[in-house]
Structure 1
Amino acid sequence: MLVERALTENDIPLLATIDRTELIQACYRMERGELVLYTAHHDMRGWPEGEAEQDAVALRACLQRGGWLWGVFDGPALVAAAVVDNRPLRHQGLLMRQLKFLHVSHAARGSGLGGRLLALACEHGWQVGAQALYISATSSRNTVDFYLRHGCRLLQQPHAELYAQEPLDIHLYRPLCE
């Protein structure tokens, strides 16, 4: 049975146990304001070297400043999580909050958990007065297509600081006022 709940500081190390396994066969890149799909072959297993530790530091800081961390557990195992930072972000005339993290374990994909977590993140953003969520998505076709199916739109001008942190990501936003 799946159990959803707010994540605590003690849960943050569990984020690294989410199974990110994915066979990536296509990715997107931005060219002149348009998404361009290209063939890619990445056998993603686990977390890239140091990424889980780096994420843990950033997410702990996010939690300490009032961020929203939500997880889905299957017994003791964390199988999905989403994080929304509480720092207001003004961009393209919108007051946004950043969706800092959204992952679903390999075995739990296709069950609707990702869509549910995104919907909950949007609801939280709306409750704290945001007009949109800012999303810096990995460029894999599955990831970008997921966000586009769930109402996200391309940012023609990414936020400079967030773009500098993730220049290969696809930068999107999810309006909350529609």
Structure 2
Amino acid sequence: MLVERALTEDDIPLLATIDRTELIPACYRMDCGELVLYATHHDMRGWPEGEAEQDAVALHACLQRGGWLWGVFDGPVLVAAVVVDNRSFHHQGLLMRQLKFLHVSHSARGTGLGGRLLALACEHGRQVEVQALYISATESRNTVDFYLRHGCHLLQQPHAELYAQEPLDIHLYRPLRE
């Protein structure tokens, strides 16, 4: 039975236990404002070297400044999590907050859990009265296609600071007002 709840400081190390296993046969890149799909082969096993530790530091800071962290547990195991930073900023005429983290363990993918967590993040954004969530998505086809299916749009001009942090990512936004 899955249990959803707010994540605490003690839960942050558990984020590294989310199973990111994925076979990635294609990725996207941006070219002149358009998505370009290209074939590749990545057999993702676990977290890239140092990324889980780096994320833990960033998410701890996010929690300390009032960020929203939500997790889904299967018994004691964290199988999915979503994080929205509390820093609001204006970009492309919209008041936004960054979706800092959204991961679903390999065994829980395809169940609708990712869409549910994104919907909860959007609801949180509406509650704090922002107009959009800013998403810096890994360039894998599965990830980008997931966000596009869930109402996200490409940013024609990424936020300079967020782009500098993740220049290979696909930068999107999810409007929160219809």
Q: What TM-score bracket applies, with the shorter chain setting the length?
A: over 0.9
CA offsets 1:78-119 (integer angstroms, 9 cap, x no match): 000000000001100000000000000000000000000000
Partners of 2:89 and 2:126 lie apart in 1 by 14
Partners of 2:3 and 2:112 lie apart in 1 by 14
CA offsets 1:5-61 (integer angstroms, 9 cap, x no match): 000000000000000000000000000000000001000000000000000000000
For the residue of structure 1 that corresponds to 2:86, the secondary structure is: coil
TM-score by length of structure 2 reads 1.00
**1:137 corresponds to:** 137
Partners of 1:140 and 1:52 lie apart in 2 by 18
Partners of 1:40 and 1:60 lie apart in 2 by 33
**2:8 corresponds to:** 8
Deviation at 1:129, TM superposition (A): 0.9
Aligned length: 178
Partners of 1:134 and 1:11 lie apart in 2 by 24
**1:46 corresponds to:** 46
2:68 maps to amino acid: W
2:39 maps to amino acid: T
Partners of 1:144 and 1:75 lie apart in 2 by 30
**1:102 corresponds to:** 102
Partners of 1:40 and 1:114 lie apart in 2 by 24
Unaligned runs of 5+ in 1: none
- Structure 1 residue ranges (4+ consecutive) displaced by more than 3 angstroms after TM superposition: none
Q: How does 1:28-39 map to 2 (within 5 A)?
A: 28-39=28-39
TM-score by length of structure 1 reads 1.00
**2:93 corresponds to:** 93
**2:122 corresponds to:** 122
Partners of 2:129 and 2:57 lie apart in 1 by 26
**2:147 corresponds to:** 147
Partners of 2:63 and 2:75 lie apart in 1 by 23
**Between the two proteins, what is the percent identity of the paired residues?**
89
Partners of 1:153 and 1:89 lie apart in 2 by 18
Unaligned runs of 5+ in 2: none
Given the alignment of the two structures, is residue 169 of structure 1 paired with residue 169 of structure 2, yes or no? yes
RMSD after superposition: 0.3
For the residue of structure 1 that corresponds to 2:101, the secondary structure is: strand
Partners of 2:157 and 2:107 lie apart in 1 by 35
Partners of 2:111 and 2:55 lie apart in 1 by 25
